[in-house]
Amino acid sequence: MNDVISGIVWALAPTVLVGLLFWAIMRAIVRADRNERKAYSRLEAEERARRGLAPKA
């Protein structure tokens, strides 16, 4: 019975590890995109304020 359980664990381990790796990479990409958009919006707002333009809705 122990061999069956260890076989199942060894069979599922690569799939689980690849899934976790994919999740971590996608999370990093989404966070980086969110931070980049926030920084771009801040920069754009500063530029609009400097030029005296109305804020973008």
Structure confidence by residue, pLDDT tens digits, 28-48: 999 999 999 999 999 999 998
Q: How many CB atoms lie within 10 A of CB 13?
A: 10
Q: pTM here? A: 0.69
Average pLDDT, the chain: 92
The answer to whether 55 touches 45, Cβ cutoff 8 Å, is yes
> What is the reported pLDDT for 3?
92
Residues 6+ apart with CB under 8 A from 45: 55, 56
